[in-house]
Structure 1
Amino acid sequence: METTHKILFGDAKTMDIADNSVDLVVTSPPYPMIEMWDEQFAEMNPEIRKALKRSDGKGAFESMHQQLDVIWQELYRVLRDGGIACINIGDATRKVGDDFQLYSNHARIVNAFINIGFSNMPNILWRKQTNAPNKFMGSGMMPPSAYVTLEHEYILIFRKGGKRTFSKNEKSLRRESAYFWEERNQWFSDLWDFKGIFQDLADSNIRDRSAAFPFELPYRLINMFSIKKDTVLDPFLGTGTTSLAALCSGRNSIGYEIDKGFSDVIFSLLHTESLSMLNDRIRKRILDHKKFVKKRLAKKDDDAFKYENNHYGFPVITKQEKPLLLNYLKTIDRQYEGTVRGKYFDEAMLDYPQKGTLFAEVNQG
């Protein structure tokens, strides 16, 4: 199996992508009314800078979202029928002039997507980790002017058209792309918390500049809402985390990034040096399942495991987990300008031949 990952530097408002050719979108845009993105929005529309200077927060907020609306329209064009779009966004609190208020980015985006023609699926709250000791801001201990802090962001989920249909070849890939029963229970919760999960992949200074989401976020979404060899699009690629997660999952990807300054970071991630790191994440899924089985059996819950996986021979709870196959990466190669290719082992292996950090643990019963 092979996958291709295209990195394009330019404005995603006019993407050179065919209609109905993308299976999944996973992205996090610049957040309107967060100061670090003011200049980027003002470059798109100088009226935004003027609105902020005259303390017109509501006008600036709406103008910023109008810039994003153009890209949401493009997503509707390129997504196939039944395709899914996942948008990670946070709300903003800000004082503009004498007026302090919440700017509800997630509500504005939901409204925009529905008006375009998308259906809004149940959304996810991502509870971000914070080291801040203060749980409130404003007037301290005196009511009523203190206000709560924002400790979560939204993962908004939309579908274009009705349920996706699959060709004969896609049906086979879909079966291989199944997730474990216990993964489903964790992933398909509407509240995510990433404590202790594999996520720190890029230099922290770069992450601060791009506000990149952790690897686990796109990795889960890609495995939840696409199948092997699907094409995943990120119109705000940033440090390249979505493409990296697609590479780890056996999906193709296309990423647009307006800032060429991220080029070195992106291609340093989509590189042979990431091979063991990505295979360790694949291996972790096998290890976690084996631990889950061991724990259930220790509780004498033998009846829970009515089936056996076709490839690995370990117990699974549902019939749909029998054909599940996780493909380890064999190579990551830079093909030509802006394109990376991933090659995978087709056969099932409990562990990757190049022993990684979890090798010993995976091969313990």
Structure 2
Amino acid sequence: MEKGRAAVFVTADVRIDGVLYPIVADLIKIMQDLGFKYQERIIWKKPEGYIRISRRSGVLIQHPYPLYFYPDNIYEDIVIFKKQGNFTPRNKEESKIDITKFQREKWYSNVWEITNVLPNNKLSKFTAPFPEDLARRIITLYSYVGDVVLDPFTGTGTTLKVAREMGRNAVGYEIDLELKDVIKERIPVSTLFGEEKVQFLEREDAKRLSPNMRAKINEKLENKKVS
């Protein structure tokens, strides 16, 4: 990674079996220990009526007493780090940001209101993809045309797709073989502008995670029934 470049994470704290894990705090500590500068933290706010959001607040409705309050989570963190040092911008004019759009859509705020991918979207059955608008905004603000955009958690390929559309080179890693065909469908080799070099490499340690995840979920449900 070149000096002065940005590493952007879209993440959130995670609650597992009633225990809340401080993913964001741990991430900041890890990146700082690696020598990165903690640059910014932006809140990605989702619509309050969004179906995907867990209704944890329903606990208080069933038990209307103190200490039964669990808020609905309607946001994720966008955490930005920069590698120490300076860099020389490339393709400055081609990468110029549309100031009118910047102001109209309130990119200047540290709270971004962007609708997530709806549950009825065909991609949502595979994973929890984030919207192309979010990827496009991040790529616009933190990279130049011709840069390489790396996504180590490719999922359904949203970041790679948007990066190519925006004139960036893209590299992605995904451990789940279940998503291979989905990614290939979203990132075709041929484009309106001719043939581009697209390679799909499969490593020996790739896995089909969906069946394993279903088995673990069923095992947890069975254990709850027994207890």
Q: TM-score range by the shorter chain?
A: 0.7 to 0.9
1:123 alignment partner, SS class:
strand
2:22 to 99, 104, 110: 104
CA RMSD of aligned residues (A): 2.7
Structure 1 residues 153, 332: closer, same or farther in 2, change over 3 A?
A: farther
Question: Gaps (5+ residues) in structure 1?
Answer: 1-78, 276-329, 340-365
Larger radius of gyration: 1
Q: Give yes or no for contact 2:56–2:70 (8 Å, CA) kept in 1.
A: no
Deviation, structure 1 residue 184: 2.8
**Residue 118 of structure 1: CA displacement?**
0.5
Instruction: Work out whether residues 94 and 102 of structure 1, in 8 Å CA contact, stay in contact via their aligned partners in 2.
Output: yes
Residue equivalent to 1:240 = 157
User: In the TM superposition, what is the alpha-carbon distance from 1:114 to its structure 2 partner?
Assistant: 0.7
1:132-178 CA distance string (max 9 Å, x none): 69571433222222221211001110000134323xxx2xx112211
| Correspondence for 1:158 among 60, 81, 92 | 81
1:261 aligns with 2:178: yes
In structure 1, which of residues 89, 100, 120 is the aligned counterpart of residue 11 of structure 2? Answer: 89
Q: Structure 1 residues 213 and 258 mapped into 2: Cα distance closer, same or farther (>3 Å)?
A: same
SS at match of 1:126: strand
Judging by fraction of residues, say which structure has more helix: 1
Identity across the alignment (%): 28
| Alignment map for 1:143-292 (pairs within 5 Å) | 143-166=66-89, 170=90, 173-185=91-103, 186-195=106-115, 204=121, 206-271=123-188
SS at match of 2:60: coil
Q: What stretches of structure 2 of length at least 5 have no aligned partner? A: 202-227
Structure 1 position 182, deviation (Å): 2.7
Are 1:124 and 2:42 counterparts? yes
Aligned residues: 194
**Secondary structure, aligned partner of 1:232:** strand
Greater relative CO, 1 or 2 (CA 8 Å, sep 6+): 1
Give distance in 2, aligned partners of 1:83 and 1:133: 35
From 72, 80, 85, the equivalent of 2:2 is: 80
Contact 1:207 1:239 in 2 (8 A): no
- Give the partner amino acid of 2:57: F
Q: 1:193 is matched by which residue type in structure 2?
A: E
Amino acid at match of 1:146: F
Matches of 1:261 and 1:203, distance apart in 2? 19
- Distance, in Å, in 1 between the alignment partners of 2:122 and 2:79 is 27
Report the counterpart of residue 215 of structure 2 in structure 1: none
* CA gap 1:228/1:335 in 2 versus in 1, 3 angstroms: closer
SS of match in other structure, 2:2: strand
Alpha-carbon distance between aligned partners in 2 of 1:332 and 1:244, rounded to the nearest angstrom? 16
Aligned letter for 1:104?
P
Distance in 2 between residues matched to 1:133 and 1:258, nearest whole Å = 26
